[in-house]
A and B are shown apart, each in its own frame.
Chain A
Amino acid sequence: MFTPFLHILVFPGFLFLVFAGLIAEYIDRKLYARLQNRVGPPFFQPLADFIKLTSKEDIVPEEANPRMFKAMPIFALTATVTAIFYIPLWSPKALYSFNGDLIVVMYLLTIPTLTYFLGGWYSTSLYSKIGAVRSLTQLFAYEVPLLMCILAPALLANTWSLSEMASFYENHSGYWLFNIIGFAVAIVALLGKLEKVPFDIPEAETEIVAGTFTEYSGRLFGIFRLSLDIEAIVGSSLIASVYLPFGFHLKPLAGFLLYMGKVLSIIAIMSLSRSIFARLRIDQMINFCWKYLSPLAFLQILICLIAKWGLYR
């Protein structure tokens, strides 16, 4: 009776994710600053930002639809927090699992993008509408390669449950090396999903003010920022559990440290890309995703099918 609430609210649910998300944002910003040869923010910076935003005035634009405008940040946060329950973190068994939870996690991670679109659309500012349409256009570019390259390891493991995939790769050590191409594709697609540079087209602050979030202020914007941070953690956990499935048999503390190491290294890769790339145009991004990323994901599926045929024969 009591444990589910503990799971949802404390660990690995809401509180843990908030904490991890803020740490991830700090590491991202600090690494970015160090790569630019400057000092960077202090360690409490993301927390101070969040508290400040929650204590500021909430402005709802007169033209906006207040119900949708206020509900969207909460939907984004809920969807991202829910997705963590189906992802195996440091033991091969996730908190809750059933056959097909892979698809559920992908759906739950798509909902935040949809809320960015709706929130931007219903705030009726011109800039947020442009940002909203861009974020939806971007969704159609990265979602297909991401789903395809996450399905490839599932095909090799012959299951659609993340927990069973994790235990399969744990029992067949070395099999995850088949999925290296998929790993690269998934990280690029995750950059698009999290709207990070070079795919930060929806919130390009030099062209369209702040994109989707132009009209959001105070607490609502704070929740949106938090949900983006948490989405970074959840997305990296998904990639870590699918593509780096080793060390699941370790003791709880060592396993936890290994899991944090995996997630933070994926976040470090993302902040590295943020400091070396410039922003792409939306048409270049769509071209890149459909011309190069999707064929690579397809190649990954082919590799997995051939490997499966060779191994199970």
Chain B
Amino acid sequence: MRIKDKIVKWSRIKSPWMLHFNTGACNACDIEIVAALTPRYDMERFGVMLKGTPRHADILLCSGPVTGQIKDRLKRIYDQMPQPKFVIAVGSCACSGGVFNGCYNVESGIDSVIPVSAYIPGCPAAPTAIIDGVVKLLASLEQREE
């Protein structure tokens, strides 16, 4: 059982598939996320693939403060992902609500709705910062005892 668990953990770290979800961002973080996936930065080096459906994804990349409208959709998308799943909040708004914190139509940050595994600050978060955050999340998986 020990060896099997190790192999499974290795495969999880080596093959994180992502789903990109805009939870009300101004589009700047989304452009940076897309830039991180394009050939210039090439996330496929780490086995990252951008997937269109939550059923295939391991990591949910959220950008933006959670607006009142998107809240239920975010929960539903999160529930549709198969276990084990991780959430990364990209950008200051996704981390804490940013400048929109306290707005009448905005919840504050992704972690007010669903649990978040990694925060990537920045306005917008640079592609290099996004890659760094993803790699740190994967490194933290490696250390975790299960």
Q: Do A and B bind each other?
A: yes
Q: Is A71 an interface residue (CB 8 A)?
A: no
A217 touching B44 by the CB < 8 A rule? no
Question: Across the interface, which residues of B come within 8 angstroms of A57, CB to CB?
Answer: 82-84
B32 to chain A, nearest CB (A): 18
A209 touching B53 by the CB < 8 A rule? yes
The interface size bin for chain B is: 20 to 34
B56 touching A217 by the CB < 8 A rule? yes
Q: Is A193 an interface residue (CB 8 A)?
A: no
A41 to chain B, nearest CB (A): 5
Contact of B52 among A52, A209, A221 (CB under 8 A): A209
B47 touching A33 by the CB < 8 A rule? no
B55 touching A45 by the CB < 8 A rule? no
Q: Is A218 an interface residue (CB 8 A)?
A: yes
Question: Across the interface, which residues of A come within 8 angstroms of B7, CB to CB?
Answer: 51
Q: Mark A203-217, 1 if CB is under 8 A from B, else 0.
A: 001100110011111
Contact of A39 among B45, B51, B53, B83 (CB under 8 A): B45
Question: Across the interface, which residues of B come within 8 angstroms of A205, CB to CB?
Answer: 51-52
A215 touching B55 by the CB < 8 A rule? yes
Question: Residue of A at shortest CB range from B50?
Answer: A205
Which of chain B's residues 32-70 have a Cβ closer than 8 Å to chain A? 39, 42, 44-45, 47, 51-53, 55-56, 58
Q: Is B11 an interface residue (CB 8 A)?
A: yes
B55 touching A52 by the CB < 8 A rule? no
A56 vs B82: C-alpha distance when bound (angstroms):
7
B71 to chain A, nearest CB (A): 22
Q: Is A284 an interface residue (CB 8 A)?
A: no
Question: Across the interface, which residues of A come within 8 angstroms of B27, CB to CB?
Answer: none
Q: Is A44 an interface residue (CB 8 A)?
A: yes
A58 vs B55: C-alpha distance when bound (angstroms):
9
Q: Mark A48-61, 1 if CB is under 8 A from B, else 0.
A: 11111001111100
Which of chain B's residues 1-17 have a Cβ closer than 8 Å to chain A? 7-8, 10-12, 14-15, 17
B42 touching A39 by the CB < 8 A rule? yes
B111 to chain A, nearest CB (A): 23
A233 vs B67: C-alpha distance when bound (angstroms):
48
B56 touching A210 by the CB < 8 A rule? yes
Q: Knowing A51-B7, A55-B12 are in contact, say whether A41-B55 is a contact too (CB < 8 A).
A: no
Q: Is A40 an interface residue (CB 8 A)?
A: yes
Q: Mark B83-95, 1 if CB is under 8 A from A, else 0.
A: 1100000000000
Question: Across the interface, which residues of B come within 8 angstroms of A310, CB to CB?
Answer: none
A48 touching B52 by the CB < 8 A rule? no
Total A residues in contact with B, Cβ cutoff 8 Å = 34
Question: Across the interface, which residues of B come within 8 angstroms of A59, CB to CB?
Answer: 55, 80, 82
Question: Across the interface, which residues of A come within 8 angstroms of B11, CB to CB?
Answer: 47-52, 55
A52 touching B44 by the CB < 8 A rule? no
A210 vs B45: C-alpha distance when bound (angstroms):
22
A48 touching B47 by the CB < 8 A rule? yes
Question: Residue of A at shortest CB range from B82?
Answer: A57
Q: Is A38 an interface residue (CB 8 A)?
A: yes
Question: Across the interface, which residues of A come within 8 angstroms of B8, CB to CB?
Answer: 51-52, 55
Question: Across the interface, which residues of A come within 8 angstroms of B14, CB to CB?
Answer: 42, 44-45, 48, 52
A41 touching B47 by the CB < 8 A rule? yes
Question: Residue of A at shortest CB range from B54?
Answer: A217
A23 to chain B, nearest CB (A): 17
Q: Is A196 an interface residue (CB 8 A)?
A: no
Q: Which residues of A contact B (CB under 8 A)?
A: 29, 33, 36-42, 44-45, 47-52, 55-59, 127, 205-206, 209-210, 213-218, 221
Nearest first, the 6 closest Cβ-Cβ pairs linking A and B are A51-B11, A57-B82, A48-B14, A217-B55, A38-B42, A38-B39
**16 more CB-based (< 8 A) A-B contacts, given A45-B14, A205-B52, A210-B52:** A33-B39, A41-B45, A42-B14, A42-B47, A49-B15, A49-B17, A50-B11, A52-B8, A52-B58, A55-B8, A56-B83, A57-B83, A127-B53, A217-B56, A217-B82, A221-B56
- 20 A–B pairs (Cβ distance < 8 Å), ordered by A: A38-B44, A40-B42, A42-B45, A42-B47, A47-B11, A48-B47, A49-B11, A52-B58, A56-B58, A57-B82, A58-B82, A59-B82, A206-B52, A210-B52, A214-B55, A215-B55, A216-B55, A217-B55, A217-B56, A221-B55
